[in-house]
Amino acid sequence: MGTRTVLSSDDINRAITRIAHEILEANRGVEDLVILGIPTRGVVLAERIAQIIRRTGTAMPADFLGRLDITMYRDDLHRNPTREVTQTTIPSGGIDDKVVVLVDDVLYSGRTIRAALDALNAYGRPKAVRLAVLVDRGHRELPIRADYVGKNLPTAREERIMVHLDPIDNEDAVVISQ
């Protein structure tokens, strides 16, 4: 079983920084912006994107970062052992009429994002929903695409993509194994 590293720690940092700036540019500021990470690693990515946006000196609402657990909206619950539900935190201003950027580590079938769109629906009606992912590996099963992509990685279905992020994995790397 071979593994190879496709994104190093520096690559990941650059990708996240670029995504953060693209988000700022596309929204001409951040007044209506809400960033929601999808657990587990999407939450770490969302935190880092938010940190970079804050560092640009842009005047931010204090509370624009949250997390959206999509477990209870999945369409494959009955095919797997019981999944753990984690916390959902929506910024205090809610998501009505906001531009919500969903953040996840890998975009694959698109089913996680479909579940996330359903989950969002329960919290309000955003002005727009965007999607940021660190890796897009293809093989979509639903008509869903990302607005901000760290890296397009054409893969075979047999391959596994593993995203490691500090502090969960104590390192930053994207690894492919066969």
Residues that bind other proteins (CB under 8 A): 69, 72-73, 77-88, 118, 121-123
Closest approach, Cβ 78 to other proteins, in A, equals: 6
Nearer to other proteins, 28 or 79 (CB): 79
Q: Phi/psi at 169 (nearest 5 deg)?
A: -110, 5
Between 28 and 78, name the residue whose CB sits nearer to other proteins.
Answer: 78
For the CB of residue 117, give the shortest distance to other proteins in the complex, in Å. Answer: 12
Q: Which is nearer to other proteins, 124 or 175 (CB)?
A: 124
Question: Tokens in use for 135?
Answer: 């890796």
Indicate the residue among 114 and 137 with the shorter CB distance to other proteins.
114
3-state secondary structure 12-43: HHHHHHHHHHHHHHHHCCCCCEEEEECCCHHH
Q: Would you report the helix, strand and coil content of the chain in percent, each value rounded to 5?
A: 30, 25, 45
Closest distance to other proteins from the beta carbon of 83 (Å): 7
HSE value, Cβ hemisphere, 13 Å, CA-based, for 25: 8
Least separation in angstroms between CB 70 and other proteins: 11
CB atoms within 10 A of CB 93: 14
